[in-house]
Structure 1
Amino acid sequence: MTGSASEPRSRINLRWIAEQVGVHPSTVSRALDASKRHLVADDVAERIIAAADKLGYRPDPVAASLRTRRSTLVGVLVPDITNPVFSPIISGIAEVLGEEGYSTIVADAGAGRDQRLRLVDELAARRVDGLILATVGRNDEVLQHCLAAGLKVVLVNRADDAGRTASVVSDDMAGMALAVNHLAALGHRKIGHIAGPSSLSTGHLRRQGFEKVMAAHQLAVPTGAIVEANAYERDEGERAAAALLAAYPGITAIAAANDLLALGAYRALAARGLTCPGDVSVVGHNDMPLVDMVEPPLTTVRIGPREMGREAAKLLLARMSDPAGAIRRVMLEPTLVIRRSTAQPRAK
């Protein structure tokens, strides 16, 4: 090798490295691409990588994108980046994609349709190779926009009713069954439900799960026993729990559609001088980070968000390599995590 690390950086490109190692530039390109390195003999790849490291070579992503028509970028849209359940989902996505040489661009899409459409168009303009959406509703216009634009899309934690693209979800009905079965086994008979927004698959299916398992236990669901939250937010949980307490006298337990709604129920109970679980037991859903640190620690349904993110990334990799392949829907099995927010109802 005749060059050195002092060589001007402008000259350090694939062709120059190829000349120093004595191989074709295409061989250098394959050796420096983790997805194609297996096509190069191990000893040659090692020499190329060592030379590139010594010289401080950094690939030009714009040039590579124009040459390969791949940006190695994936966009991830979440509805509220402050919601702790999305952190492990994003982490799982980044872990799997990073192993394959992809970088992730995470965007807080908010709740507005126009903002989400704008973000999708901006990501498409940056030539992302695919999108993972945690934002879709059951009949989602933004998803249709993505598909019409020819973008490779995978849904995570939510699905659309029509099953238009691949998705990874928890078994929402089974998760709510775990919550109600637990409360029924403790002896609760007057159980209320704080439902998530019915426009979202999680809100819709968890409510269906609640009604189905209550019927299986022959437990009444009178008017007022279900209150729908307008968003998965703690303030909405507090509002809905207050409505439940007012409309359903004698209620002894609440099964909430997510953990933030459950924490809102804590506030509603405290505002009325009621204790959890002494007066009312509360079960959440998702097992988001830190719900074991609140008082009392929250009994909840664990959906495995990190694994959900990992599976979504795997589905997207498959979609990007085979756009015409079968649309897959992965459903993860939830588990119940019992903590101190649930107990037997107090004897009257």
Structure 2
Amino acid sequence: MSVSIKDVALKAGVSTASVSRVLTNKPGVGAKTAERIRKVMEELDYRPNLGARGLVKQNTGNIAVVVPRGSFILNNPFFSTVLEGIAKGIDQTDYNMMMSFTSSQQKRLLETQAVDGVILFAPRNEELSLEWLESIRLPIVVVGSYLEGSPFPCVRPDDEDGIKQAVDALYQLGHRNIGIVNGPMSSMHSVRCLNGYKKKMDELGLPFSSENVFEIDEFDALKATTEVATFLKKHSNITGVVCSSDYLAIGVIKAANMLGLSVPKDLSVVGADDVPISDFITPALSTVHVDLLGVGQRATSILMNMLEGKQIRKKDVVFKMEYINRSTTDSPKHN
């Protein structure tokens, strides 16, 4: 038997109007009372009746931007730049943007149907279950990565080809001992980058060695410079490194400096994504460019089409990447 709004109101000791205000994020309910109502909804596994709500109110006027791993992602220039594109896209509509950072916030925001649609940032397979995401019955667009077997439209860079271009650029300069600094394998972005690295090494006739692969448990080499430095010191034969993000590449440069290595004289480094800061650091970072603002704006456009009931024919929208040669790459001193 399904739980009704009256059941929630009765157990919480409030009126149905108070429950409705909490569901739609309207004022008029005290913080403690609202928290009690939410707790009761969770205990009773209450799900709002979307059809009934639609008769009363056509939409909430809100779009949720769900950010797993919260503040870390906002500190990463890849995500902050894509987020700027999303904000620009939403600015062209009548919708408001609501951001969610923690799992409890996300569950409360989405299950109470306080939004009309969702833009989901780079989820990982262990973070959000497909079954739960489908159960909330909201239009969802994934940005930057995708869940294996996901039914939701995804907008992302062509990570695999981007890394292949980076490896090829180092090869053309004369590098033969090329390593990769990558993120965690729980991220499909990391999986695609490693696949691109392996494929290009094979195409070029270069031997693949797992010893030349360094995996970081998060896309934050700045916090792992000691580990990266240990990797570089252990594999001093590596003359060039490709990275699955510019953020990681900046960390690799810092680690090289810790070891007294000159970039690019002693070590060439290539990033990925071409975030705004990559052209302002010294030396300027060679990288593979993708239109990050465009990624965010396209994700918003797709979500708007879904909200209008339009059929989305292309589920996986891939943005091309292009190698940009700057100052962190040069010919190796020796092969």
Structures share a fold, TM > 0.5? yes
Equivalent residue runs for 1:1-348 within 5 Å? 67-78=56-67, 79=69, 80-107=73-100, 109=101, 115-125=102-112, 127-138=114-125, 140-235=127-222, 238-322=225-309, 326=313, 328-347=315-334
CA contact (8 A) 2:225 2:255 kept: yes
Higher CA-based Rg: 1
Match of 1:56 in 2: none
Residue ranges of structure 1 left out of the alignment (5+ in a row): 1-63, 110-114
Instruction: Give deviations 1:251-273, integer Å, cap 9, x for gaps.
Output: 10110111111111111111111
Q: Could you report, residue by residue, the CA deviation over 1:141-165 in whole angstroms, capped at 9, with x for unpaired residues?
A: 3453222111211100111121321
Instruction: Read off the aligned partner of 1:199 and give its amino acid letter.
Output: S
* Matched residue SS, 1:85: helix
Q: What is the alpha-carbon distance in structure 2 between the residues aligned to residue 249 and residue 129 of structure 1?
A: 53
The 3-state SS of whatever aligns with 1:169 is strand
- Go from structure 1 to structure 2 and tell me whether the alpha carbon gap of 1:65 and 1:179 turns closer, same or farther (over 3 Å shift): same
The structural deviation recorded for 1:98 is 2.3
After superposing the two structures, state which structure 1 stretch, 316-325 or 130-139, moved more. Answer: 316-325
| Amino acid across the alignment from 2:135 | A
Deviation (angstroms), 1:248: 2.1
Aligned to 1:37: none
Aligned AA (1:77)? V
Determine what percentage of the aligned residue pairs are the same residue. 26
Equivalent pair of 1:259/1:287 in contact (CA under 8 Å): yes
- TM-score between the two structures when normalised by the length of structure 2: 0.77
- Check the 8 A contact 1:139/1:161 in 2, yes or no: no
Q: Tell me by how many angstroms 1:95 deviates.
A: 2.0
Query: Is 1:180–1:213's contact at 8 Å kept on the other side of the alignment?
Result: yes
Q: Deviations over 1:80-125 (max 9, x none)?
A: 1121222221222122222221111123x3xxxxx32532422443
> Given the superposition, is the C-alpha separation of residues 336 and 244 from structure 1 closer, same or farther in structure 2, using an over 3 Å criterion?
same
2:60 maps to a residue whose letter is: S
1:227–1:240 CA contact under 8 A, matched in 2: no
> In 2, distance between residues paired with 1:205 and 1:192?
16
**Cα distance change of structure 1 residues 291 and 97 upon mapping to structure 2, 3 Å threshold:** same
Q: Residues 342 and 237 from structure 1, CA distance in 2 versus in 1: closer, same or farther, beyond 3 angstroms?
A: farther
Shift of 1:294: 0.9
* 8 Å contact from structure 1 (residues 155, 165) kept in 2: yes
Supply the distance in 2 between the matched residues of 1:205 and 1:216 (Cα, whole angstroms): 16
Contact 1:238 1:267 (8 Å CA) reproduced: yes
Secondary structure of 2:323 counterpart: strand
Gaps of 5+ in 2: 1-52
TM-superposed CA distance for 1:327, in Å, is 6.1
Distance 1:325 1:302, change over 3 A: closer
- Aligned counterparts of 1:144 and 1:135: Cα–Cα separation in 2: 17
- The 2-side partners of 1:208 and 1:201 are apart by 10
- Pairwise CA distance, 1:321: 2.1
Q: CA deviation at 1:169?
A: 0.7
Change in 2 beyond 3 A, CA 1:282/1:231: same
In 2: Cα distance, 1:242 partner to 1:221 partner? 21
* CA distance, structure 2, for counterparts of residue 202 and residue 298 of structure 1: 20
Answer with 235-244 or 259-268: which moved more: 235-244
Looking at structure 1, the residues matched to 148 and 225 of structure 2 have their Cα atoms a distance apart, in angstroms, of 29
The structural deviation recorded for 1:310 is 0.8
Give the Cα–Cα distance (whole angstroms) in 2 for the partners of residues 116 and 324 of structure 1.
30
Paired with 1:66 and 1:292, the residues of 2 have a C-alpha distance of 52
Cα RMSD for the two superposed structures: 2.2
Q: Distance in 2 between matches of 1:94 and 1:249?
A: 44
The CA distance in 2 between the partners of 1:327 and 1:123, in whole Å, is 25
Which residue identity lines up with residue 84 of structure 2 in the other structure? Answer: S
